Amino acid sequence: MSSIALLGFADSESERLAAGITTLNSSLRLVKFTADTSKEELASSVEGAVVWGAGTGLAGPSGIVHAAADAGVPVVVVLPVVGLEDINAAREEIEVCFLPCTAEEILLRLNIAMSINAPTETDNLIIHGDLAIDCDRYEVVLKGHKVDLTYKEYELLKYLALNPGRVFSRESLLRSVWEYDYFGGTRTVDVHIRRLRSKIDDVSNHFIETQWNVGYRFRSPGRGS
C-alpha cells in the first residue's frame, strides 16, 4: 500500500476528490498534512503527494510543491485557475491539474509522476547512473566493475536505491533491513553507511546523503534529488 500526502485538503470540493481517489484505488493510503510540513517529513512518510492549491493559504502552493519535489516525492498540484503561480511544471516530479478536474485525472497524473520517478528496473536490475544492482545475483556493479559488499551492505544499498530521494531514519532502516537480527542500536546503521560510501562513492558519485538529525537517503544521478 502506497501512502499519499494530501496538502490543503479542507473544503468540501477537495474532500469529494479525495474520496473519489480512494474509490478508484483502494490501495492508496491518503494522509492529510499541513501546508507547513517539512520536506524531510514528506520524504520519510509518503511515496507521493497531492496539493489542493486553493487550500494552501495566501503564500500559495508553490512552496510546498517545490518542497515535495526537492524531497524526491512525486506531486500533483490542483490549481483553481489556469496559471502556474510560480510552479515549475517542467520538473519531472511535478504534475499539474486545473479545475474543474476529476479524481480520475488526478490519479492518472499521480501515477505518471510516480512512474517517471521510479528507479529503472530491467530484468530485475536496479539502475541509477553508473550503479547497477542485480537482484538475482546479489551483485553490485559500478562503472563496469563489481563492488564487493557484505550481505547487509547489499541489502541496505538495495533498500535505499529502491526508494530514491526518500529519507529514512536509522530506526526505520534497522526495522526494514536488519529486522530483528541486529545488536548495538542505531550506530550499526552509521557503520554500514560509512562502509558503503567508501565502496561506491567517489569524485563523480555521491549516492548516499545524510539528512542531519533525520537519517539517510539515496540520491539518484540525474534526478536532482
Domains of the chain: 2-116 (3.40.50.2300), 120-218 (1.10.10.10)
Task: Give the pLDDT of residue 40.
Answer: 76
Q: In the chain, what's the furthest Cα-to-Cα distance? A: 56
Task: Give the pLDDT of residue 118.
Answer: 63
Task: Give the pLDDT of residue 152.
Answer: 92
Task: Give the pLDDT of residue 197.
Answer: 93
pTM of the model: 0.55
Place of cell 549516492: 207
Tell me, rounded to whole angstroms, the distance of Cα 76 from its chain centroid.
13
Low-confidence stretches of the chain (pLDDT < 70) are 1, 57-60, 83-85, 117-123, 180-184, 221-225
Q: How many CB atoms lie within 10 A of CB 187?
A: 9
Query: Cell digits for 68?
Result: 515535495
Q: Which of 124, 196, 185 is CA-nearest to residue 153? A: 196
Query: Is residue 215 within 8 Å of 173, Cβ to Cβ?
Result: yes
Task: Give the pLDDT of residue 225.
Answer: 47
Task: Give the pLDDT of residue 20.
Answer: 92
Task: Give the pLDDT of residue 70.
Answer: 80
